[in-house]
Amino acid sequence: MLTIVVDAMGGDHAPACVIEGTVQALQESGNRFNILLIGQSEKVEPLLASYDTSALNLTFLHAPEVVTMEDIPATAVKTKQESSLVKGLQLCKAKQADAFVSAGNTGAQMAASLFVLGRLPGVLRPTIYAYFPRLSEGLTNIVDIGANVDCKPEHLVQFAQMLTIYQRYGAGIEQPLTGLLNIGEEEGKGSEMLKQAYWLLKEADRAGKINFLGNIEGHDILKGKASIVVCDGVVGNTILKFGESIPEFMGILFKRSLEKVMISGQMDEKMAAMTTSLFKGLFDPFDVEIFGGVPFLGVDGISIVGHGRSSSRAIKNMIYMAEHMIEKRVNEHIAEVLSEK
Amino acid sequence: MLTIVVDAMGGDHAPACVIEGTVQALQESGNRFNILLIGQSEKVEPLLASYDTSALNLTFLHAPEVVTMEDIPATAVKTKQESSLVKGLQLCKAKQADAFVSAGNTGAQMAASLFVLGRLPGVLRPTIYAYFPRLSEGLTNIVDIGANVDCKPEHLVQFAQMLTIYQRYGAGIEQPLTGLLNIGEEEGKGSEMLKQAYWLLKEADRAGKINFLGNIEGHDILKGKASIVVCDGVVGNTILKFGESIPEFMGILFKRSLEKVMISGQMDEKMAAMTTSLFKGLFDPFDVEIFGGVPFLGVDGISIVGHGRSSSRAIKNMIYMAEHMIEKRVNEHIAEVLSEK
């Protein structure tokens, strides 16, 4: 049975949401895994007491320190060795657990994962990706979304390779398609880094390591032209956060417009309610919590990174994501392919 | 009276739309400027003949060559000296005209403008910006949107300075606010280039050249946190094209949802029509044609760059933009501020 460490202290709504999501995952899955819930006992235990956990594979572990959202990643890892973050990852390193899940400080989790778990053989830079909505069936992942800012062309190639492996083995996509996010479709477009990345990606395609579509542009993302959109962390982070702001922005515009037509008497309350429900449903594809979080790809272990805003549902889905990563042996495949010369 | 050269051959719907927009601008403005319409006589004259232009300040000039959307910018400028693009800009350089307007090949127009007009004193790299929708009153401009891909920190500072001048004199914004688009708000975030740009922007703020807010993130753009969003051309181009794709993407999702509720009988045709009209109205803030086009800032002359898709309304508004740039003496202000040591 798999053992998954869950960071009780990670996330804006921690520990309450984390406890709720953990209990839900165990109940829903029929106790399919062991969970080690780790955090400050004075904060976690009183909340945990309100659940009947006697029949669940749930063990609580005390960690006196907490890495907060404000902590500077590199410093937190060094100075907070007794935190749920560092202790949780150390349990994975010591093979006492198979995966670590947290919705806490993303930068600190990346730094600690790299420091405690190390990199998989052949991996230059571990990376995180995000999910994007798309019009057609399938999946769109953008990589990197901020873990790596000063990227070299060879880093982008590895991001594409790692996502290709993830999508193939982890998401059942037979032929993941990689597009290089650029300012134009033609060869020779973009910065020096992008021009070189283009040629290296072509080479990786010829070597059968990825399926490279060529350059794609900003308007190709939502169309779902590529299943893997490769870019540096500055571009990826910006586009991700911009994308995440769309539902709220459109929601405010919608509210203003709806008020106008209601005041003018063109719509009654019933019609307004139906229109609102239709409008809200449009943003279902933007729901990031379906996946809960993403693995920090390229580290020698499973470290699932969640959004700070994570609800209990997101926490639950992150636990499933951890299980999925282990079962599909994604890391073994990455190590195998990336350590090839 | 100002003389504005309009490139009849520029744009996906040229020359028909260009002619229509030009005639509209003259009619609507009461013949407020002279327009030199330039293009291939065999294509333009038959269309022009269907308008009564006898009372308009409109002169047609023949240019035998055309720069197409497929032409490589640097090559086109050199080999197509008899094109409407190059000849039109040369009229500005020779002071026979005050401004040039085109919705053609953007890269070629930038290359030709730089080559024919040259740079304003002190300007390192001319730039183009874009308009973005925002929730609050005011204006959001993103700069650079693809003219400059391998940017140095000092280029970003000049982009901020040029936009500050443009917004102050051209758009009547007393205190334009500059934000540096980055992966986090804190000092020290981002790539080496962004870290250095942050400090140079701080310095420019202390020197009273700009109002610098600090780092902003992707989700701050639509909120309208800054009126000037500074980034390199790869980030700006990507976010611009991504943003432009949202109305179509949401429109398809909306159509699918509407069909479902109509088939299920929850909405009748009248209600569906009203909901559709409300939904379409939400994207009015995304309408790029209000401004038609943008000036290529930093060149020694007025060269207004339009979207390839430009309608006659966009062409008309680009002509007004040219007039506006001249009247507000934006270039004189840029030269004055940027040549200061």
Q: Give the pLDDT score at B50.
A: 95
Q: Do A218 and B238 touch (CB under 8 A)?
A: yes
CA distance A159 to A176: 13
Chain length of chain A: 341
**Is a pLDDT exceeding 90 seen at residue B192?**
yes
Q: Which of B324, B341, B51 is nearest to B169 (CA)?
A: B324
Closest CA–CA distance from residue A174 to any residue of chain B (Å): 26
Q: Beta strands B293-295 and B303-306: pairing type? A: antiparallel
A222 contacts chain B (CB < 8 A)? yes
**Is a pLDDT exceeding 80 seen at residue B288?**
no
Q: What angle do CA B315, B321, B311 make, to 5 degrees?
A: 15
- The pLDDT > 90 percentage for chain A reads 87
Partner residue facing B245 (CB), from A191, A218, A232 = A218
Q: What are the tokens at B53?
A: 């232009």
Q: Give the pLDDT score at B267.
A: 86
Q: Do B258 and A278 touch (CB under 8 A)?
A: yes
Name residues 228-287 of chain B within 8 A of A (Cβ). 231-235, 237-246, 249-250, 252-254, 257-258, 261, 266-267, 271, 274-275, 278-279, 281-282, 285
Q: What is the tens place of the pLDDT at every residue in B298-310?
A: 999 999 999 888 8
Query: Please, is B263 exposed, middle or buried when counting C-beta atoms within 10 Å of its C-beta (0-12, 13-18, 19+)?
Result: exposed
CA distance A288 to A310: 9
Q: Give the pLDDT score at A249.
A: 94
DSSP B182-193: -S-SSTT-S-HH
- Which residue blocks in B101-232 are alpha helix, DSSP H? 106-117, 153-165, 192-206
**Mutation site for B-interface testing, chosen from A222, A238, A245, A266 by largest number of B Cβ within 10 Å:** A238
Average pLDDT score over residue span A295-311? 94
Q: What is the tens place of the pLDDT at every residue in B24-61?
A: 999 999 999 999 999 999 999 999 999 999 999 999 99
**Is a pLDDT exceeding 90 seen at residue A268?**
no
Average pLDDT score over residue span B176-192? 95
| Interface predicted TM-score of the whole assembly (ipTM), two decimals | 0.93
- Specify the range with the lowest mean pLDDT, choosing from B143-152, B235-244, B261-270: B261-270
Which letter does DSSP use for residue B32 in this model? -
Average pLDDT score over residue span A305-333? 94
- Specify the range with the lowest mean pLDDT, choosing from A64-73, B285-294, B311-320: B285-294
Q: Give the pLDDT score at B264.
A: 87
Closest CA–CA distance from residue A177 to any residue of chain B (Å): 19
Partner residue facing B150 (CB), from A149, A192, A222 = A192
The SS3 call for residue B65 is strand
Average pLDDT score over residue span A45-74? 94
Partner residue facing B242 (CB), from A218, A278, A281 = A218
**Is a pLDDT exceeding 90 seen at residue B1?**
yes
Q: What is the tens place of the pLDDT at every residue in A177-224?
A: 999 999 999 888 999 999 999 999 999 999 999 999 999 999 999 999
Domains and CATH numbers, chain A: 3-126+296-328 (3.40.718.10), 128-286 (3.40.718.10)
- The pLDDT > 70 percentage for chain A reads 100
Q: Give the pLDDT score at B333.
A: 96
Q: Give the pLDDT score at A265.
A: 84
Residue bearing the bigger pLDDT, B154 or A187: B154
**Is a pLDDT exceeding 80 seen at residue B291?**
no
Residues from chain B contacting residue A220 (CB–CB below 8 Å):
245
Q: What is the tens place of the pLDDT at every residue in B99-120?
A: 999 999 999 999 999 999 999 9
Q: What is the tens place of the pLDDT at every residue in A279-290?
A: 999 998 887 777
Q: Give the pLDDT score at B81.
A: 96
